[in-house]
Structure 1
Amino acid sequence: MEVLGWIGLGAAVMLALVLVKERLAGFGAQVPEDYAGLGPQFDLREHLRGPIKCEGVIYGPLGRVASRFTGDFEASWQGNRGVMREHFDYDSGNSQDREWRLELGNDGSIRAEADDLVGPGAGRQLGAAARLCYRIRLPKEAGGHVLSVTDWMYLAPNGVVVNRSQFRKFGIKVAELVAVMRRVEA
């Protein structure tokens, strides 16, 4: 085998090992059942209700902070159907508004819609966590790309929700978001 053949084989083996690690031990290896026995129980209708303050950062593909933001949310529920209106202010001076339309199933399933999603999002809340997967179309000024997103929300014992999201294009992580959401008492 020629030198280039060995290099190609080595690169293919390394890529396969990285993909296996991501599936077995990385962010993508989590499932809602991992959090089934943990309390307190996360219920979107309870913990994402009313006015909510949000702060967070977005990491770029190299792991450095690419953007910082704050957000003001307002969430309301009628039974298992909810609407969460979000307003974000970014350190760049830009702002963004989004409205989520959420529906919870009696089995903990989540269905989500928003104007910038490509099709509905689907997820599940179980124990102290919730996962939501969806495809989002970025604004034209951000390239207009469609990214696959996995959101994990974890309920802290004090009621704060910690959100960790990964954004992927062709299976490659291009960004990660970490944020906290706190209900604002009237």
Structure 2
Amino acid sequence: MDTTLYILLGAVLLLGGALVAGRLVGFRAQRPADYAGQGPQFDLREHLTGPILCEGVIYGPLGRVSSRFVADMEASWDGDTGTMTEHFRYDSGATQTRQWQLTLTDGGGIKATAADVEGVGEGWVSGPTVLLRYRIRLPENAGGHVLDTTDWMYLCDNGTVINRSQFRKFGIKVAELVATMRRKD
């Protein structure tokens, strides 16, 4: 074999190995069961209710901060059905509003819908964590792409929620969000 073929074969093996490793370790390898039995117990009706302040950053595909934001949220619950309205203000001056409809199901399940979510998002509560997966449609001024989203929320002992989200297109990570959420006093 000539050198070019060896280099090409090595690159394919390296890329394949990276894709497999990404599913076995790190963010994408987490499962709700990994957090079962740990505390404090995340109860959306308790920890995501009332006025909430959210502050965060969005990282682009190369790992650099592409945007910063502050969001005022308001959440209310009627039994196992909740509504969360989010008003985002980005460092660019842009604003965005999203209203989630949330339903808690048996066994710690969550169903979630919003106007810019394709279909129904699904999630699970386990110990101090919430996992939510959904497909979000970006605004037209951001390309209108539909991204596969995985949100992990981690409840801290003081009631603050740390949110880490990854956005993928064709399985490739194109953005990541890290934010804090805490009740306004």
Same fold (TM over 0.5): yes
Are positions 1:7 and 2:31 aligned together?
no
Q: Which residues in structure 2 correspond to 1:49-88 (within 5 Å)? A: 49-88=49-88
Secondary structure of residue in 2 paired with 1:19:
helix
Are positions 1:17 and 2:17 aligned together?
yes
The gaps in structure 1 that reach 5 residues or longer are none
Give 1:2 shift.
Answer: 2.5
Are positions 1:151 and 2:180 aligned together?
no
Aligned residues: 185
| Residue identity opposite 1:105 in structure 2 | T
Give 1:21 shift.
Answer: 1.4
Could you list the per-position Cα deviations for residues 129-153 of structure 1 after superposition, in whole angstroms to 9, with x for gaps in the alignment? 0000000110000000110000000
Measure, in 2, the Cα distance between the counterparts of 1:174 and 1:141: 16
Q: Which residue of 1 aligns with 2:101?
A: 101
> Structure 1 runs of 4+ off > 2 angstroms?
none
- TM-score where L is the length of structure 2: 0.98
Q: Which residue of 1 aligns with 2:119?
A: 119
- TM-score where L is the length of structure 1: 0.98
The gaps in structure 2 that reach 5 residues or longer are none
Secondary structure of residue in 1 paired with 2:124:
strand
Could you list the per-position Cα deviations for residues 36-60 of structure 1 after superposition, in whole angstroms to 9, with x for gaps in the alignment? 1210100111100000000000000
Q: In percent, how many aligned pairs have the same letter?
A: 64
Measure, in 1, the Cα distance between the counterparts of 2:110 and 2:171: 23
Please tell me the root mean square deviation across aligned C-alpha atoms, in Å.
0.7
Q: Which residue of 2 aligns with 1:141?
A: 141
Measure, in 2, the Cα distance between the counterparts of 1:164 and 1:135: 16
